[in-house]
Amino acid sequence: MSILPQMPTPAHPGRRWEARQYPGTPSTCPRFRAELRSDLESLAGVPRRIREDVELCASEAFANAVTHSRSQRSGGTVIRMLSTPIVMGRETTLRLSVIDDGPLDARPMFPPARRSVENWAQAESGRGLQLIHQLADEWGTQRWADSDSLSVLGTVLWAEFTYPTATAASSAPCVCGGAR
């Protein structure tokens, strides 16, 4: 008989799925989404809203990669990584990373021109990163470069989603025992 509190065991601490590589073509997006959905469903305790948000953000990141990077070229690829690197107390963080083949050219990237409310309302694209910003708890981008030549190999877009950790039957401390 234990007098120590019984702490819940996280469902999948530090879980990492195998990286998946996809052709950098728009027609690959349905397969990309379906495999992501399957991977998310294999993780117990992820709320449906979080799964849907991750899938939507991943779709936007994939679309950006095949539209705005070298991934769209013949033989180009997009890599998707998924992990739960952080399980702290009652929260789990799910991390999505989408890696493209890097910028289309070596010219410096300039911020897009400012748009008016009317221009945004009529724009057919350009909202993907805003959507990710709204749905993810944290997100960012990072260039991935060869450490020897410093040439850009790709761009990593990452997004983190935090949700309540699945717990054992009860997370309340067990006050057991007594003198025998």
pLDDT (tens digit per residue) in 136-171: 999 999 888 777 777 778 899 999 999 988 653 334
Distances (CA, A) of 70 to 8, 105, 115: 45, 8, 26
From the list 95, 13, 10, 85, the residue with the least C-alpha distance to 54 is 95
Distance of CA 23 to the CA centre of its chain: 19
Average pLDDT value for residue range 73-91: 88
Q: What percent of the chain has pLDDT over 70?
A: 72
Q: Compare 121 and 173 and report the one with higher pLDDT.
A: 121
Supply the pLDDT for residue 16. 82
Overall average pLDDT of the 81-87 stretch: 84
Q: What percent of the chain has pLDDT over 90?
A: 47
Q: Cα(78)–Cα(24) distance, rounded to whole angstroms?
A: 6
- The set of residues, in sequence order, having a beta carbon less than 8 Å from that of 117 and lying 6+ positions away, is none
Q: For residues 70 and 120, which has the higher predicted lDDT (pLDDT)?
A: 70
Residue 2, pLDDT above cutoff 50? no
- 32-55 pLDDT tens trace: 999 999 999 888 788 999 999 999
pLDDT of 8 over the 80 cut: no
